[in-house]
Structure 1
Amino acid sequence: MARSNSSESLSEVHSSVAIPTGKSPWKKFLAFIGPAYLVGVGYMDPGNWATDLAGGSNFGYSLIWVLLMSNLMALLLQSLSARLGIVRGLDLAQASRNTYPPIVNIPLYILAEIAIAATDLAEVIGMAIGLQLLFGLPLIAGVSITVLDTILVLFLMNRGIRLMEIFIVSMVSIIGLSFLAEMIIASPDLGEVVRGFEPSLLSGEALYIAIGIIGATVMPHNLYLHSSLVQTRKLDRSPSGLRDALKFNFLDTTIALNLAFFVNAAILILAATAFYKNGMMVDEIQDAHRLLEDLFGSLAPTLFAIALIAAGQSSTITGTLAGQIVMEGYLNLRIRPWLRRLLTRLLAIIPAFFTILYFGEDALGNLLVLSQVVLSLQLGFAVIPLIHFNSDRVRMGEYTIKTWVKVLAWSAAIIIVGLNVKLVAESIGGWIGGAENPVYLYIFVVPVAIITGILLLYVTFGPLIRRERRLKRNIPHGEALSITLPDKMELRRIALTIDFSRNDRDTIRYALMQGGKQANYLLIHIVESAGAHYMGGEIRDFETRSDEENIKKYVEDIRKLGYQADYRIGYGKTAPSIARIISEDACDFLVMGAHGHRALKDIILGTTVDAVRHLVKVPVLIVRKEE
């Protein structure tokens, strides 16, 4: 774990896809295709399935207009997200860190992590249900298997962003073709479908599901993700190059999100045709699968399960990537990608396990809808900063959004926030009215709602009030310092690690070059045998005796050259033992040899150098020799 030394979002794939120059517009467009499809799968994940099934089976076609409104909002907001990444070269989390003070950014980060956990929860549940429907696996086993998705994501990222985009497009194709076949089988009444696009008033259960649909469609983590993914293209930063990038990314977004709208509308229409018109209310994906078989035979439920697995598998990638972007952007903190993705997945698996164990498998459907409502409640904290950043004429210049776009964007934000406020007020009022002793709600729930409201007000009006400070803070790594002539630095006690490999010769030579004959040199070796872990300095096995004889020889050779040297042997875990010796002997410099292990060798042999440099407070010189 470390502070990020790179200001690039998703630095491992940043600017990794070249844009052809001097080619036809069609070939340029093909180079830009990809990021919106990674974003688009988030709009057709299992969470969307849950809200679409609930909406269609409970209210028929009457909520299709909510889907259309959500899709139009998503198209507008995702295009703003792409614009931010293209023009300013910042993802949404980085821009927030540069704009708001830490006291605001930390809650924003926590809310973003909650949204990502809710997203991944939906994907975990959806994958587990799909595996159960297709192969008969118990849900608890399916949830466990989803941990392996972390390995797939890591493999795809290591192979490049293009392979990941190809994988996603193939998954989207499977989903789309499956539901095209489902629509042919179900044969809905087109006249009734068209009437579903007429807006109507929402309240009660319809409002709850509508907000779930909005949260499942306009997903906050996708706004963070899109602003980062567009930076995987090696853009021409000239005005014409940026205009081309904005145009082609808008086309990419339009196509991808319209495909997502088709899938969501197909699920809702299928639920309305198959269940609502037959007097069946379906809140569980498993029930939908079973009833489809009763109504249409074996092909429809098989296609349904295949599409569900494809949706869960592809959507998990977006959630884990968004988790990495949010952590690095808000906290300027980078941890190993596989660890970050495993952490994201565990945050989703734990509530799924808890729900299955304590409430039963039947409760997963309600948990899916709840996860989407949580996403919707977090939307305002991502949407409002996004609008501010795209309206900043100082930073966006000629690419600042036009007035009519601002009006549409703020209208979308007002609708989203307004519906959420209404839901929160109705929910809290209902809880208080139905509670025998509402004092706990007044102590815990009401204050949280009030604090969250104050945070939302600050996010909305803070950038307008604190514009001067914002402009000064908008520097990724701070300002350059003035450099003066260095004072003479004397190294008195130089430590160097010894492992009796070919590295030792270079490690010793570089150490002697640092301090000359005025410094004192401490040679350190750690005995890592099983006995050393348990017995420490009391161990006197063959390995310990042999290592001590070898390190004494090094010390004697160094002394013969006219240098002062002695040695220390540690026992057990390498990195903590080295750090402890450095501290006890008051060393002021450390020289270490590195083997240059990569990938699998790093996992098997460990990364001692990386661990040590985070444990010591002295400068570290790493002498590397490739094997």
Structure 2
Amino acid sequence: MFKKIGPGVLVAAAFVGPGTITMCTLAGARFGYALLWALLISIIATIVLQGMAGRIGLVTQSGLLDVVRKELKTPWVRNIVIAIVLGAILVGNAAYEAGNIGGATLGLEQLFPQPQLRPFLPVFIGGVIFLLLWFSSYKILEKIFVGLVGVMGVSFVVCAIITQPSMLEIIKGLFVPKLPENGLLTVVALVGTTVVPYNLFLHASLVKEKWNSKSDLKAVNWDTTISIGLGGLVSMAILVTASAAPISEINNALDMAIALEPLFGKMAFLFMAIGLLAAGITSAITAPLAAAYVASSCFGWEGGMQNKKFKMVWGIVLLCGVVFLSFDIKPIEVIQFAQVANGVLLPVMALLLLWVVNKKSVMGENRNSMMQNAFGVAIVVFAIFLGAKSVLKVIGLF
């Protein structure tokens, strides 16, 4: 089984980051188990979209943007799409990288609570990530991620079990959808933090690193479904844990751990801190990596992860995260631009993904089935709603 696990683990690690932990904590603290159904829908949508991206990567042996660029024959349309993708991924990931490193720093601070060390922790974590990316091949990174995601998964699931949740309430939350008052924005945020546009590019590129034959399609599907399903289980475990924690105010992903300690002891707190550290590190690795793969596809760089320009891109993204965090810079305008760009990018990429995966000239007999297209269309409609909400929220109309 574990030989078939690969790129999907990196995708799962990418969406279960400090932002997701904070959002799931907020959802559980405010609405109990009521929004578990939103997470379930998000996970299914992610499996469907990532499955398409992985299939395109395997069949074409190209990055997703490479395929889109070749298939868009009208120059001005192609240029607009490339500009949106580059803007959203490069600038967005650089802005969000500070949050990823910050999450890992919060977790590490709890494990080594010496005040004199705190100013140096972001640089230390940034240095560790730099070394992992600089010296690691895809195969090494894959093994590291399997370990980190395993640690993260065990940590959060153990926390959920410690709180002794009601199984009946969990089942109701999963399969009896209801929208609590003032819950719409939280639902949209839960979906937005799970269905991540840059993961589509990351997945297609990583699949061709691991597999090179159409006969491996079952392995790709297995990897996608199992890995993202386990990532979703982690998100649900965080929400379930937060439902039992008496949290009055939520500012970051660690607030739940602080609230759990008086009720369930030091062990719950430690598991949360370890899980947060693992989540921060994995997301802080995948964000620069995805940005580099997108740039590589845009400009046609050869050599994969060992290309100097590829390394320069992820290095700049990583450096931005460390600098923003170390000097307490609040890049609000940059983050707002990233939110708008990602809000536009998700429906654009969902539409392009659906278009490419149905082209016989590209996919041959591996095109979408009617059922896959039905799921795909439903996800595109929701992606348009989600993207519109993101843009309107930033410009102050939502």
- Which TM-score bucket, shorter chain as reference? 0.7 to 0.9
Superimposed CA distance per residue, residues 385-424 of structure 1 (whole angstroms, 9 cap, x where no aligned partner): 1111101122211111122211211210111211332454
TM-score by length of 2: 0.87
Equivalent of 1:229, from 206, 209, 223?
A: 206
User: Which letter does structure 2 place at the counterpart of 1:69?
Assistant: I
Aligned pair in 2 of structure 1 residues 79, 177: CA closer, same or farther (>3 Å)? Answer: same
The change in CA–CA distance for 1:338 and 1:91 in structure 2 (over 3 A counts) is closer
The equivalences for 1:416-427 within 5 A come to: 416-425=383-392
- Aligned match of 1:348: 321
Q: For residues 538-553 of structure 1, what are the structure 2 equivalents within 5 Å?
A: none
Give the CA deviation at 1:227. 0.4
The aligned residue for residue 405 of structure 1 is 372
Check the 8 A contact 1:42/1:315 in 2, yes or no: yes
Match of 1:48 among 13, 20, 28: 20
Query: 1:300 offset after TM fit, Å?
Result: 0.6
Match of 1:257 among 228, 247, 250: 228
Deviation at 1:215, TM superposition (A): 2.0
The 1:164/1:382 distance shift into structure 2, 3 A limit, reads: same
Shift of 1:225: 0.9
Match of 2:79 in 1: 103
Counterpart AA for 1:313: I
Deviation at 1:173, TM superposition (A): 1.2
**C-alpha distance after superposition, 1:67-89 (max 9, x if no partner):** 10000000001110111011111
Deviations 1:271-327 (A, max 9, x none): 111136xxx343422322221112211111111111111111222222222111100
Q: Distance in 2 between matches of 1:89 and 1:294?
A: 52
Task: Note the alpha carbon deviations across 1:97-149, whole angstroms, 9 max, x for none.
Answer: 22343531223221222343355333112112112222125655332323211
CA distance in 1, matches of 2:346, 2:265: 40
2:136 paired residue among 137, 147, 156: 156
Could you say if the C-alpha distance between residues 219 and 194 of structure 1 is closer, same or farther in structure 2, counting changes exceeding 3 Å? Answer: same
For each residue in 1:158-178, what CA deviation from the matched residue of structure 2 results, as whole angstroms up to 9, or x when unmatched? xxx222211111111111211
Structure having the larger proportion of residues in helix: 2
Q: Which residue of 2 aligns with 1:388?
A: 355
Identity percentage over the alignment?
27
Contact 2:31/2:180 (<8 A) preserved: no
Task: Name the SS for the 2:254 alignment partner.
Answer: helix
2:267 pairs, out of 299, 306, 311, with 299
Pair 1:200-2:171 in alignment: no
Of 368-377 and 320-329, deviating more is 368-377
Is the 8 Å Cα contact of residues 4 and 222 (structure 2) preserved in structure 1? no
Residue 215 to residue 132, structure 1, CA distance change in 2 (3 Å): same
Contact 2:199 2:290 in 1 (8 A): yes
Residue type matched to 2:79 in 1? I
Matched residue, 1:282: 250
Q: What are the ranges of 5 or more consecutive residues in structure 2 without an aligned counterpart?
A: 302-306
- Partner residue, 1:187: 164
Q: Could you tell me how far 1:201 is from its partner in structure 2?
A: 3.9
Using the alignment, how far apart are the partners of 2:270 and 2:224 within structure 1? 30
**Which has more strand, going by share of residues?**
1
Matched residues in 1 for 2:330 and 2:211: separation? 50
Give the letter aligned to residue 260 of structure 1: G
Instruction: Report whether the alignment pairs 1:128 with 2:105.
Output: yes
Amino acid at match of 1:393: K
Is the Cα contact below 8 Å between 1:127 and 1:313 reproduced in 2? yes
Deviation of the 1:353 alpha carbon? 4.5
Q: Which residue of 1 aligns with 2:122?
A: 143
Contact 2:61/2:212 (CA < 8 Å) preserved in 1?
no
State the TM-score, normalizing by the size of structure 1: 0.57
1:429 offset after TM fit, Å?
Answer: 5.1
Structure 1 274/99 Cα, relative in aligned 2: closer, same or farther at 3 Å? same
- CA distance in 1 between partners of 2:126 and 2:220 (Å): 32
Q: Are the aligned partners of 1:214 and 1:376 in contact in 2 as well (CA < 8 Å)?
A: no
Preserved CA contact (<8 Å) 1:47 1:368: no
Asked which structure has the greater CA Rg, the reply is 1
Instruction: Please tell me the residue identity of whatever aligns with 2:59.
Output: V
Question: Using the alignment, how far apart are the partners of 1:257 and 1:270 within structure 2?
Answer: 20
